Structure 1
Amino acid sequence: MRRLTIVGGGFAGLTAAITAAEAGVRVTLHEAHRTPGGRARTSEGPHHTNEGPHALYAGGPHWTWLKQRGLLGPLAPLPASEVLRLRFHRGGSVLRTPPPAMIRQALRSADRAPVDTDFRTWATGLAGERGARAAAAYSGVALFHHDPGSLSARFVQERLHRAAAVPPEAHYIRGGWGRLVERMVARAWELGARIETSARVDSLDDLPRDQGPVIVATALPAAARLLGDPSLTWESGRTVLFDLAVRTRKGDPFVLSDLDAPGWIERFTAQDPTLAPAGQQLIQAQLPIGPGASRADGVAHAERLLDLGFPGWRERTVWRRESLSQGRTGAVDLPGTTWRDRPAIDRGDGVYLVGDQVAAPGVLSEVSFTSAVEAVSLALRARRGDDRKGLDLKHA
């Protein structure tokens, strides 16, 4: 395979570009925005935020891949004193420790969790109704869904187990994920990949005829439009993203997790003070909402949690931002489905689909990474197969 075209310069697209370029392929990547990164972009200005809270799970395959290539860069370590500031909301009270039944449920491996049973039913039989409800709410930090209990038990338990791992799997890129994107872009350039920004592709027919195989690395709704295939759909979440900068106050928690309903507030400057100006703390939250709820409902949820855990936050606020993320929170698997049932990576005719809602395993960004590596591997194998067929015909 001499050439490969990638549409979309987010985490999946850049992973595919580096993987293919390392194999000696000439890569051209088209990114619609003026800078690559997708949802991994970090905003400019005094408050460095991503599109929702971002963390990198050390237990995933992309951790090793990034580390081997020197792309991880400096991490933002969480001081031991901040670990002790993890708080939980339940029944109007702020707790220092979660319910024991929830802890026992989180420690269970996902291997024995059933695929065809919803998490609420399965976990209730093991942890009781209250323990199952708290566990489902806590798992929201890793799946951004308003009702985790209604999803496949295997799907939810995997995310719950990894989100509650000790020592924590979640790590933070110092300076925000934008720094990781910058290193990935630089690596792709070093390998000879061509990255064209402000280069929107509305149809694959617009690409040059000699572009080689095509990897579509956009959000699933955009991919459906680009490929003219309305069947490219999968269940995702709706979540309100809430960013807040407040004047520093001693005693603010590191994290406040709602165990009554999925919702998570985190003080990101606890591990990385560079994300906000001196004397300020950057808080990011994600509050999943149901189909009939509005952005205002999610914001109200965030404000209730802030009232409980961050005294005087309104008077201390120096900056805030709210947004609604819909269909951009990764795949969620309903009972009876697994990652294998999601839209296939190989779309036929030399077209491949990657991202966080396709048929690849993993948690959060791991799905994007795994699908990108798999797409390049499939394209290489397909090209070798075509070359072998041509060789056989030549000698027939």
Structure 2
Amino acid sequence: MHRITVIGGGLAGLTAAISAAEAGAKVTVYEAHHTLGGRARTAEGPYRTNDGPHALYNGGPHWSWLQQRDLIGPLAPLPPLEAARLRLRLRHKGVLRRTPPFAMLKLLRRSAQQAPVDVDFLSWATEQAGEEGARAAAHYSAVALFHHDPGALSAAFVQERLRRATKLPPEAHYPRGGWAGVVDRMAARAWNLGVRMETLSRVDTLPTDTPVVVATSLDAARRLLGDDSLTWPSGRTTLLDLALRTRRGDAFAVSDLDSPGWIERFTAQDRTLAPAGEQLLQGQIPIAPHETRADGVARAEQLLDLAFDGWRERVTWRRESVANGRTGAVDLPGTNWRDRPAVDRGDGVYLAGDQVAAPGVLSEVSFTSALTAVSLALGRNALDLKHA
């Protein structure tokens, strides 16, 4: 029987553990934190905030894999499409609008020209739709990028995420009660398959008697493996979580087309996330390397002033944080996912996570890289593991 060690108990580590165990391997997972889930943890208590920005897209293989194993669980219902449109607000030229600039719509058409890899998005999109539409589209794409300058990234990279983020009906879904339910179901699946899970177990030295899947952040993997080549650009995002007393007429979400940023009222879909009579919001404001958390908070408060009347007097709880390099890989012009750090590091060591060489959007990269890592470790076809 194969034995595999998985370091990290987040989405990538749990996916690797489940797929390896389904293939007959004996698996041990080591997680440094006292709970599983990694960045997919959900806070306990009256305000069920996710530990960072997340969405589960139903258009990719990750969704199918989870669904086949009954791991998704109940989802927060999406508001009716027309209602969502009416309550989505877009800041453009300093004022709130209900519709994007017409030039931006040109870039959202399914028939739009395929963007190139080796040109930045802003330059390419300006040729297609003019500078105003290009900048608005670049800033809107931050909802799936969490980067302070999406226009500087590879045009092909941004276009794929922009198309999926604006698809109707929406691809993005949210597990009811936060991500903790998905993590708990994945952990239970792993446990029932015989996976041994050790929490509060930080690994400082790689085992040499089994293949190892390192399913940590790229920074942690670089330190653990002593490999300075394990780097790739990511985003840096100010997160502002707020609970407000409920008031009729609040926006479902507000997107900033003047600069990257987004605020969403999560209790519009899932009332279980906050006590009765309160609403839970999260602002996600990408910030540049030289900017501070306070800079992001200030921009979030500008959006709140426009879209949530009297919000300052309604606050019942507040939390601010910075997600630094925790929002997935971004690809610069001339690069794509194949150029990121390879899954196979040699000597029976494999990487899994959202900044490695695997396709997909957001959590799909962690999923795909985890399947690839296990298939290489076991000498199995990744397609076989997907359907195991």
* TM class, shorter-length: over 0.9
Q: Quote the offset at 1:109 in angstroms.
A: 6.4
Q: Secondary structure at the match of 1:182?
A: helix
Query: Which AA in structure 1 matches 2:64?
Result: T
Query: Which AA in structure 2 matches 1:149?
Result: G
Q: Secondary structure at the match of 2:240?
A: strand
Fraction of identical pairs, as percent: 71
Find the aligned partners of 1:135 and 1:258 in 2 and give their Cα distance. Answer: 10
Find the aligned partners of 1:40 and 1:331 in 2 and give their Cα distance. Answer: 17
Q: 2:94 touches 2:258 (CA, 8 Å); kept in 1?
A: no
Query: Which AA in structure 2 matches 1:263?
Result: G
Equivalences for residues 12-91 of structure 1 within 5 A: 12-80=12-80, 81-91=83-93
Q: Quote the offset at 1:108 in angstroms.
A: 4.1
Give the alignment partner of residue 339 of structure 1, picking from 334, 337, 340. Answer: 337
Find the aligned partners of 2:237 and 2:178 in 1 and give their Cα distance. Answer: 20
Is 2:319 the counterpart of 1:317?
Answer: no
Q: 1:111 touches 1:154 (CA, 8 Å); kept in 2?
A: no
Q: Secondary structure at the match of 1:256?
A: strand
Taking a change above 3 Å as real, the CA distance of residues 111 and 223 of structure 1, as seen in their structure-2 partners, is farther
What TM-score do you get using the length of structure 2 for normalisation?
A: 0.96
| Residue of structure 2 in register with 1:197 after alignment | 199
| Residue of structure 1 in register with 2:358 after alignment | 360
What are the superposed Cα offsets for residues 144-194 of structure 1, whole Å, 9 maximum, x if unpaired? 000000000000000000000011000110000111000000000001101
Bigger mean CA deviation after superposition, 110-119 or 222-231:
110-119
Query: Which AA in structure 2 matches 1:176?
Result: G
| Residue of structure 1 in register with 2:386 after alignment | none
Query: Which AA in structure 2 matches 1:139?
Result: S
Taking a change above 3 Å as real, the CA distance of residues 360 and 20 of structure 1, as seen in their structure-2 partners, is same
Query: Which AA in structure 2 matches 1:102?
Result: M
Q: Secondary structure at the match of 2:354?
A: coil
Find the aligned partners of 2:5 and 2:329 in 1 and give their Cα distance. Answer: 25
| Residue of structure 2 in register with 1:119 after alignment | 121
| Residue of structure 1 in register with 2:384 after alignment | none
Q: Secondary structure at the match of 1:112?
A: coil
| Residue of structure 2 in register with 1:222 after alignment | 220
| Residue of structure 1 in register with 2:246 after alignment | 248
| Residue of structure 2 in register with 1:140 after alignment | 142
Q: Quote the offset at 1:104 in angstroms.
A: 2.1
Mind listing any 5+ residue stretches in structure 2 that lack a counterpart? 382-388
Q: 2:106 touches 2:112 (CA, 8 Å); kept in 1?
A: no
Find the aligned partners of 2:128 and 2:112 in 1 and give their Cα distance. Answer: 13
Q: 2:53 touches 2:327 (CA, 8 Å); kept in 1?
A: no
Taking a change above 3 Å as real, the CA distance of residues 104 and 146 of structure 1, as seen in their structure-2 partners, is same
Find the aligned partners of 2:111 and 2:162 in 1 and give their Cα distance. Answer: 9
What are the superposed Cα offsets for residues 351-372 of structure 1, whole Å, 9 maximum, x if unpaired? 0001000000000000000000
Q: Secondary structure at the match of 2:237?
A: strand
| Residue of structure 2 in register with 1:305 after alignment | 303
| Residue of structure 2 in register with 1:105 after alignment | 107
Find the aligned partners of 1:368 and 1:107 in 2 and give their Cα distance. Answer: 29
Query: Which AA in structure 1 matches 2:227?
Result: D
Q: 2:61 touches 2:364 (CA, 8 Å); kept in 1?
A: yes
| Residue of structure 2 in register with 1:378 after alignment | 376
Q: 1:7 touches 1:215 (CA, 8 Å); kept in 2?
A: yes
Mind listing any 5+ residue stretches in structure 1 that lack a counterpart? 384-396
Find the aligned partners of 1:150 and 1:6 in 2 and give their Cα distance. Answer: 35
What are the superposed Cα offsets for residues 192-233 of structure 1, whole Å, 9 maximum, x if unpaired? 1011000000121xx3x53x1000000000000000001100
Q: Secondary structure at the match of 2:328?
A: coil
Find the aligned partners of 1:258 and 1:250 in 2 and give their Cα distance. Answer: 22
Larger Rg, first or second structure (1 or 2): 1
Cα RMSD between the aligned structures?
A: 1.3
What are the superposed Cα offsets for residues 248-298 of structure 1, whole Å, 9 maximum, x if unpaired? 000000010000001000000000000000000000111001111110000
- Count the aligned residue pairs: 379
Find the aligned partners of 1:99 and 1:111 in 2 and give their Cα distance. Answer: 19
What are the superposed Cα offsets for residues 23-50 of structure 1, whole Å, 9 maximum, x if unpaired? 0100000000000000000000100011
Taking a change above 3 Å as real, the CA distance of residues 111 and 90 of structure 1, as seen in their structure-2 partners, is closer
Query: Which AA in structure 1 matches 2:127?
Result: G
Find the aligned partners of 2:295 and 2:241 in 1 and give their Cα distance. Answer: 15
What are the superposed Cα offsets for residues 7-35 of structure 1, whole Å, 9 maximum, x if unpaired? 00000000000000000100000000000
| Residue of structure 2 in register with 1:267 after alignment | 265
Taking a change above 3 Å as real, the CA distance of residues 109 and 142 of structure 1, as seen in their structure-2 partners, is farther
Q: Quote the offset at 1:52 in angstroms.
A: 2.1
| Residue of structure 1 in register with 2:152 after alignment | 150
Find the aligned partners of 1:96 and 1:359 in 2 and give their Cα distance. Answer: 38
Q: 2:85 touches 2:98 (CA, 8 Å); kept in 1?
A: no
Find the aligned partners of 1:127 and 1:231 in 2 and give their Cα distance. Answer: 38
Q: Quote the offset at 1:325 in angstroms.
A: 1.1
What TM-score do you get using the length of structure 1 for normalisation?
A: 0.94
Find the aligned partners of 1:265 and 1:222 in 2 and give their Cα distance. Answer: 30
Q: 1:88 touches 1:257 (CA, 8 Å); kept in 2?
A: yes
Find the aligned partners of 1:33 and 1:347 in 2 and give their Cα distance. Answer: 25
Q: 1:30 touches 1:200 (CA, 8 Å); kept in 2?
A: yes
What are the superposed Cα offsets for residues 96-137 of structure 1, whole Å, 9 maximum, x if unpaired? 111122122022468821000000000000111000000000
